[in-house]
A and B are shown apart, each in its own frame.
Chain A
Amino acid sequence: MFFRGTATAAGSMVLVIIAAIAVFLVVKAIPAINKDTVNFFTYKEWFTDGDEPKFGIAATVFGTILTAALALLLSVPVALGIALCLSHYAHRRVATTLGFIIDLLAAVPSVVFGLWGRDYFYEPITDLSKWLHDVFGWLPIFGSDGPYGKSVLLGSVVLAIMILPIVTSLSREVFLQTPPENQEAALALGSTKWEMIRTSVLPYGRAGIIASVMLGLGRALGETIALALTLGSVFAINWDFLGPGGITIASNIANRFGEANDVGRGALIASGLVLFVITLIVNMGARAIVYRRREFVGGAA
Chain B
Amino acid sequence: MAVETPVRLGVTDARQLRAKSLPTWAPWAAVVAAVAVSSVLIKLTGAGGWVLTGVVAAILFVAFMGIAASVVEGTRSARNRMASVLIYGAFILALLPLLSVVWTLLSKGSKRLDVNFFQTSMNNIGAFDEKGGAYHAIIGTLEQAGIATLITVPLGVLGAIYIVEYGRGFLANAIRFFVDVMTGIPSIVAGLFVLSFWVFTVTPLWNNGKAAYSGFAAALSLSVLMLPTVVRSTEEMLRLVPGALREGSYALGVPKWKTITRIVLPTALPGIVTGVMLAVARAAGETAPVLLVAGGLSSINFNVFSGNQSSLSLFIFEQAGVASEFAPGRAWTAALTLVVLVLVLTVAAKLLARRNKLAR
Q: Which residues of A contact B (CB under 8 A)?
A: 2-4, 6-15, 17-18, 20-21, 24-25, 27-28, 77-82, 84-86, 89-90, 98, 100-105, 107-116, 118-121, 124, 127, 131, 161, 164, 168, 192-195, 197, 215, 218-219, 221-225, 228-229, 250, 253-254, 257, 265, 268-269, 272, 275-276, 279-280, 282-284, 286-287, 290-291, 300
Contacts and interface: CB of A to CB of B under 8 A. Distances in A.
Contacts of A111: 285, 287, 313, 316-317, 320, 335, 338
A4 B259 CA distance: 12
6 contacts: A18-B182, A82-B87, A86-B91, A109-B339, A120-B108, A286-B184
B162 A7 contact: yes
B84, B189, B257: most-surrounded residue (chain A CB, <10 A): B189
Contacts of A222: 184-189
B196 interface: yes
A194 B98 CA distance: 28
A272 B188 contact: yes
Interface stretch (B115-123, B151-159, B244-252, B297-305): B151-159
Interface stretch (B26-34, B60-68, B126-134, B164-172): B164-172
Contacts of B227: 13-14, 17
Per CB-CB distance, the 6 closest pairs between chain A and chain B, nearest first, are A222-B186, A109-B285, A81-B90, A10-B158, A11-B162, A3-B257
A80 to B, nearest CB: 8
Given A21-B193, A89-B87, A119 B178 contact: no
Interface string B317-339: 10010000000100110010011
Contacts of A27: 196
B242 interface: no
B189 A118 contact: no
Prevailing SS type, chain A contact patch:
helix
A109 B342 contact: yes
A192 B80 contact: yes
Interface residues of B, number: 96
A18 to B, nearest CB: 6
Nearest to A162: B97
A107 B342 contact: yes
A131 to B, nearest CB: 7
Nearest to B86: A81
B90 A6 contact: no
B80 A257 contact: no
B276 interface: no
A85 B79 CA distance: 16
Nearest to A283: B184
A115 B188 contact: no
Contacts of A116: 100-101, 104-105
B100 A20 contact: no
B346 A276 contact: no
B295 to A, nearest CB: 10
B77 A192 contact: yes
Contacts of A84: 87
Nearest to A23: B197
A222 B165 CA distance: 34
Contacts of B347: 104
A108 B342 contact: yes
A154 to B, nearest CB: 13
A105 B260 CA distance: 36
Contacts of B178: 14-15, 18
A101 to B, nearest CB: 7
Nearest to B174: A15
Contacts of B90: 77-82, 85
Contacts of B94: 78-79, 82, 102, 105, 164, 168
Interface string B76-106: 1101100110111111011101101100110
B158 A131 contact: no
Contacts of A100: 350
Interface string B279-304: 00110111110011000000000000
A253 B159 contact: no
